[in-house]
Amino acid sequence: MRKKTVVLGMLGTTLDQGGHKQDRWQRWRPTVSVCQHADFAVDRFELLVPPSAGKLAAQVAADIASISPATEVKLHTLELADPWDFSEVYGKLGDFADAYRWSTEREDYYLHITTGTHVAQICLFLMCETRAMPGRLLQSSPVRKTGRDAVHRATRLDVIDLDLAKYDRLAARFRARQHMGASLLKAGIETRNPAFNRLIEELEHVATRSRDPILLAGETGTGKSALCRRIYELKRARQHLTGELVEVNCATLRGDIAMSALFGHTRGAYTGAAEPRGGFLRKADRGLLFLDEVGELGPDEQAMLLTAIEDKRFFPVGSDKQAASDFQLIAGTNRDLAALVRTGQFRDDLLARLSLWTFTLPALRDRREDLPPNLDYELERVSAQLGHRASMSKPARDEFLRFALGEATWNANFRDFGAAIRRMATLGEGGRIDEPAVHGELARLRASWRPAGGDALASVLGVERAAGLDRFDRVQLADVVTVCSTATSLSAAGRTLFAASRQGKRSHNDADRLRKYLARFDLTFDDLRAG
């Protein structure tokens, strides 16, 4: 089905004037002439008209109807006190763009910048550049004919670009628009951590200017999924996509079902495939696909995903015909993908494609100054979920924040933090959180974070490295960690650990022996004491 061609432009109160009927057709009038172009069929013309130019607008609309009956002309009143004031013109055009119902799936838009003041032309360019108006710039110009019956009706149409860097008066509006985008990505929370705010500012630029894949890295619970949903909202608001958000946790995809879930399958592709399936990639057509825990994908899925990212085409399971999907991609991971590449578990070419824009979300413990505003946000969120107002007394709030800003480790980041607020609000009478409720919650958190048994290894090596040890090494190293964590010195720990083998030896170098053993795991005695 052919897309409709829609032109949006401003009435030229001087250029579109025609005078008497005969004069009108002897002159070149940009708005009318656009609709006379043989190779450019206009289905609809959205004409922005000053209140004082209603008569001229009606004449232009009638003339367009006479030479292009298939063109629908819609008149919109645009009231400007000063059409040469950048702020006013940009603001009014922005209001029009926000209220207009864009339909990029069914219509192609062109912004006609030949008419209107130079300020209006510049502002239309900026609307196009920032995708506030999702169209292409269109410029018309007369093609003069020669001879006794020469007229200026013939028109040349060009899609153009402009250099507007010198127009600094609009910088404030750009900053305001970017601030609104960044605020959306932060869910309206006035975060105070400089590094996090810089990350969000850069992410706002990338999300609104690029269709490239984005990789969100960070520990579990740092907010990757929630941030992805807000990126989708921002892109949708800026007319960068029209499809839906499709979220997939790759850790839940295993075996044949992984290929089928992602890329779809044909009927009878494998045992149990009684009906065809579209798959997540096709569901995300013209929308946003979020592949969380992308490091859990198998090698076959990784290979096909790379092709789908680069070509927007892929083979469903059991099909010899490619399917297409114009999706935008965000991938999430809490694993070190570069390390997985080194061990052969992740494709280096796929990582290169995903990591063009990599944003590592900091752990909650690294942005403690953001805890007070996030506490307010969580109270508001829990209130909406529980259906009653959740609040904290001042003493309770002060005690909770002392703990949150001090000894709390927030192992699961915002999952721990949000769960703590929810528990206290649920148990508090009428949603009111008092000091006893805080005391109970702090005891619960301390108990949940206390290392037990083999978990001590995870606290010094990290969960992934500890899980990657052979059982023999885990048992041995766990005992070494326990001894070192209570010993007063490296030598004292060595004497305890090598008490049996040092019997009968004339010289003892237990400290050096222990130092070399720890070095095998990239550890030092000070590391274990600090842990």
Going from N- to C-terminal start, the domains of the chain cover 4-166, 174-360, 364-449, 455-530
Class of 364-449 in CATH: mainly alpha
Residue whose C-alpha is closest to residue 45's, from 79, 17, 9: 9
- Residue 452 is inside which H or E element, if any? none
Give the model's pLDDT for residue 270.
72
Question: Strand ranges (DSSP E) for 28-135?
Answer: 44-49, 72-77, 107-112
Phi/psi at 38 (5° precision):
-65, -35
Tokens at 6, concatenated: 């829609």
Give the model's pLDDT for residue 222.
92
Give the model's pLDDT for residue 36.
85
Give the model's pLDDT for residue 484.
83
Please tell me the distance from the alpha carbon of residue 205 to that of residue 216, in angstroms, as a whole number. Answer: 15
Class of 174-360 in CATH: alpha beta
Tokens at 520, concatenated: 């095998």
Q: What is the DSSP string of 345-393?
A: SS-HHHHHHHTTEEEEPPPGGG-GGGHHHHHHHHHHHHHHHHTS--EE-
Tokens at 68, concatenated: 């292009």
- Residue 396 is inside which H or E element, if any? helix 394-405
Alpha carbon dihedral 74, 80, 84, 85, in 10-degree steps, equals -120
Strands 391-392 and 432-433: parallel
Report, as ranges of residue numbers, the positions in the chain whose pLDDT lies below 50: 148-152, 162-171, 452-454
Give the model's pLDDT for residue 180.
67
| CA 355, chain centre distance (Å) | 14
Please tell me the distance from the alpha carbon of residue 33 to that of residue 15, in angstroms, as a whole number. Answer: 11
| CA 174, chain centre distance (Å) | 19
Please tell me the distance from the alpha carbon of residue 345 to that of residue 368, in angstroms, as a whole number. Answer: 35
Give the model's pLDDT for residue 167.
44
How many other CB atoms sit within 10 Å of the CB of residue 139?
17
Residue whose C-alpha is closest to residue 391's, from 343, 419, 357, 424: 424
Give the model's pLDDT for residue 154.
66
Query: pTM score, two decimals?
Result: 0.60
Strands 323-324 and 313-314: antiparallel
Beta bridge partners of 214: 330, 357
- For residue 218, how many C-alpha atoms fall within 13 Å in the half-sphere facing its CB? 25
Given this chain, do its domains 4-166 and 174-360 carry the same CATH topology? yes
Out of 3.40.50.10770, 2.60.40.650, 3.20.20.60, 3.40.630.30, select the CATH number for domain 4-166: 3.40.50.10770
Give the model's pLDDT for residue 524.
87
146: alpha, beta or left? (left if phi > 0; alpha if psi -120 to 50):
beta
Give yes or no for a contact between 364 and 414, defined as CB atoms under 8 angstroms apart. yes
Kindly report, residue by residue over 99-158, the tens digit of the pLDDT. 898 988 889 999 999 998 899 998 998 888 878 888 889 988 887 655 544 444 567 888
Tokens at 100, concatenated: 């207009």
